[in-house]
Every structure is written in C-alpha cells, then in structure tokens.
Structure 1
Amino acid sequence: MARSEEQNRLARETAKENILQAAIEVFVERGVSGASIAEITKRAGVAQGLMNYHFGTKEQLIAAVIDRWFDTVLGFAQIEGTPDEMLAAIIDSALRSTAYAVPLQRVVLAIQQQPATHRLFAESEERHADAATAAEDAVRDVFRARGASDPALEEIMLRSTLEGVFVKYSVFGDTYPLDDARRWVHRLYGLPDPVDPLPVSPPPRTGEPRPRARAAVCDGTGTV
C-alpha cells in the first residue's frame, strides 16, 4: 500500500532529525573537520542523497547544528512571578539545557573556537539576532526589576557565568559538580537554594569535587 502524503512528510522529518543527531555524534567523536558525510549518513541509517536533499553541503549541515544550539539556548524558561523567581527559573533552565545537551554544547564550543567554522557561528548568530536580543532584554528586565544599577552588565555577567559552567561541564563531564554550581549561582544572586536537584543522574559524590577531563571520554557513566 502506498504511503500517504502525511506518512511521507513524517518520514522525511524523521530522516532529517536522524541526520542532524548523527552529525552531532560524529562531530563529537571525530571533530568537525574529521567527520565525513559518508560516516554521518551511515550512522543515521539513510542514503547520502537524503543528506543532500535536506542539508545540501557539509557546511550547511554544520550551520544546521549551530542553529539547533541557538534554538536550545534561547528557549529558556520564562515564568510569571517575582523577579527573584524569574531569575531562578532562568538560571535553572540554562543549566538544565547544559546537562541535557552536552554533545551539542561540545560541538558548538569547538565550532566557536576554530577559524574555519567561526564564520558559520557568526552567520547563525545573525540569523538568531532578534531572538537573542529578546532573550537578553527579558533578563535585563528581571535585573531592572530587582533594582540593579546596570541591568545590561548584570545580564552579560550572568551569561558569562552560566557559559563558564557549560564549558567546564562539557570538558569535565559528570565529575563537574553541576548541582553544586547551580546552588552557588543561586547564592551569588541572593536566591534561596533550589529544592529539587537538576533532572540528571551523575554518580554519587563523596568527598570534595575534583573535576577531571578524562571523565568526559568515558562510557557515559562518569566513572574515572
């Protein structure tokens, strides 16, 4: 029986998502420059023609990965409530995204640093300029409501702090104390400690935290 147009559309969307996820995985393993389209399509379980259909060139696929990252980081939670409640939600949403999107975070961090791909990051940033400005303004409004004398600088420093956490977590994996860092950021802004932990499952920690880069290349358990 022939597939309906809706079934065909869903199949195309599934193939496109599979290619994107496979690209993220292979970019993490091989690096962007070392990854081949053949390996990505094999990992995705699709013919190379589908890759060409959905993304065109490897450069366009890299751009799509960066776009996915922007969509993720700009989709932070906004809730109604007091300025303190809104700030806590922003912090928690950013760190939750960090925990869930580690492979994507690692790929985009590398793309940002490499001269050959930095242009692609800048172009994606321009495509998301309106959303980025709106997100910045929303956070600045929260700081303004909290009585900050320089809401713009407060927003920049909060973003710098959270981005620093994401870089460290990307490098050190589950040996980096993400929940402890979250509580530290809350206290930095005079917010109550979070009641519930982030919905991730790092191994139980005993003693003082000692982040180690080799944990990020383990089998996902965080075991060193």
Structure 2
Amino acid sequence: MPRSPSANEEMRALARQKILGAALQVFAEKGYHGATITEITKRAGVSRGLASYYFPNKHLLVEELLDTYLDGVAAIIDVPGGPDERLAGIIDGVLTAMMSDLPVQGVILSLVVQPSTHPIFAEVEARKDERLSLLEDSLRELFEQRGAEDPAVEEIMLRSVLEGVIFKAAVYGPQYPVEQIRRRLYGMYGLSAPTTTLSGKEVRPIGRLRATDRGY
C-alpha cells in the first residue's frame, strides 16, 4: 500500500534529522575538516544517495546546523512577563538549553568561530537579519524598561556574557558550576535570587576547573 504524502514528509524530516544529528557527532569527534560525508552517512544509518540528496556537501550541513542554532537564539524573545521576569526567563532558558546538550553547544560554537566555517555563519546570520534584529530590539526594549542608561550596550553585554558561559561550560562539562553562575547572573542584574535549581539537584561546592580528555 503506498504511503500517504504526510507519511512521506514525516520520513523525509526524520532522515534529515538523523543526518544532522550524525553530523554533529562526527564534527564533535573529528572537527569540520576531519569529518566526511561518508562517515556522517554511516553514522546516520542512511544511504549515501539520500544524504547527498539533502546535503550534497559539508557546507550545506554546517549551514543547516547554524540556521537551527540562530532560530533557537531568536526564540528567546518569546519569554512572557514583565522586564525582570523576562530577563530571568531568558537566563534560565539559555542555561537550561545549554545543560541539555553541552557537546552540541560546543560544536556549534566551534563552527561559529573556526575560520573555515565562520563565513558560513555570516551568510546564515545575514539571512536571519530580520528575526535577529527583532531579538536585539526586544532585548533593548527590555533593558530600557529596566532603566538602563544604554540599552544597546546592555543587550550586547547580556548576549556576550551568556555566550561566554556556554563556552566555558562546553569546555569543562559537568565541572562547570551552572547554578552558582546562575545566581551570580541574577545578582548582577538585581533580580531576586532563584528559590529552586534548574537541575532539581542540590548545588555542589565549586572546585577547580580543569579540562579532561572527555568532559561529558
């Protein structure tokens, strides 16, 4: 019995996600230059022809991954509430997403900053300009409502701080004191201290951050 158009669409979407997930794994292990379409295809469990149909080259794979990343960044403007509630929600949303998959966060950051893939990021960012501008304007309005002297600087500062936190957490994995950093961010912006933890677990004392062969 032939599959319905909706079933075919669902299978195509699943195949794309398998390929993208495999690409993240291989990029994490071997870097952009060391990764091959053949290995990504094998890891995804799909045929080379199918993978090449969706993503004829690594450039397009990176483009899709960065596109998804920027969509996630832009989604933070959807946090409801007043200025303080929104700011706390943005901080918590970023930290929660970060903790859910640190290796992925690390791979995405490496793709953003690597000289070989940064131009791809710039292309994707240019295509997302309208939505990213909405994000920037929304954050600047938030800081204006909070009485900031220069809302534009505060918007850039918040994003820089959160991206720095993601970078350090990606480097040090479970060692990174997410809950303590969360409390520090709340204090830095004059927000009421959180009464619960994001993980639901007891906060551990801070040790010394040291890189390991595999931090996850």
TM-score of the pair, normalised by structure 2 = 0.93
Matches within 5 A, 1:138-217: 138-199=138-199, 205=204, 207-214=205-212, 217=214
Distance (whole Å) between structure 1 residues aligned to residue 124 and residue 65 of structure 2:
10
Contact map agreement 2:177 2:206 (CA 8 A) in 1? no
Matches within 5 A, 1:119-130: 119-130=119-130
Deviations 1:89-141 (A, max 9, x none): 11111212222242232122212222211111111111111111111111111
Q: SS of the residue aligned with 2:104?
A: helix
Q: SS of the residue aligned with 1:89?
A: helix
Contact map agreement 2:37 2:58 (CA 8 A) in 1? yes
Change (3 A) 1:14 1:80: closer
Q: Specify the code of the residue in structure 2 equivalent to 1:7.
A: A
Contact map agreement 1:55 1:61 (CA 8 A) in 2? yes
> Unaligned regions of 5+ residues in structure 2, if any?
none
Change (3 A) 1:17 1:82: same
- Partner of 2:39 in structure 1? 39
Contact map agreement 1:69 1:105 (CA 8 A) in 2? no
Distance (whole Å) between structure 2 residues aligned to residue 81 and residue 37 of structure 1:
45
Residue 17 of structure 2 corresponds to residue 5 of structure 1: no
- Partner of 1:74 in structure 2? 74
- The Cα shift of 1:204 comes to 6.6
- The Cα shift of 1:60 comes to 0.7
Distance (whole Å) between structure 1 residues aligned to residue 80 and residue 70 of structure 2:
24
Q: How many residues align?
A: 216
Change (3 A) 1:185 1:56: same
- The Cα shift of 1:196 comes to 2.4
- The Cα shift of 1:74 comes to 1.8
Distance (whole Å) between structure 1 residues aligned to residue 200 and residue 122 of structure 2:
31
Distance (whole Å) between structure 2 residues aligned to residue 114 and residue 93 of structure 1:
26
Distance (whole Å) between structure 2 residues aligned to residue 112 and residue 90 of structure 1:
21
- State the identity %: 44
Distance (whole Å) between structure 1 residues aligned to residue 21 and residue 113 of structure 2:
21
Deviations 1:1-38 (A, max 9, x none): 33222221111110001100110111001111101111
Change (3 A) 1:188 1:22: same
Q: SS of the residue aligned with 1:53?
A: helix
Distance (whole Å) between structure 1 residues aligned to residue 70 and residue 162 of structure 2:
15
Distance (whole Å) between structure 1 residues aligned to residue 151 and residue 82 of structure 2:
16
Change (3 A) 1:208 1:97: closer
> Unaligned regions of 5+ residues in structure 1, if any?
none
RMSD, matched Cα:
1.8
- Partner of 1:29 in structure 2? 29
Distance (whole Å) between structure 1 residues aligned to residue 120 and residue 74 of structure 2:
18
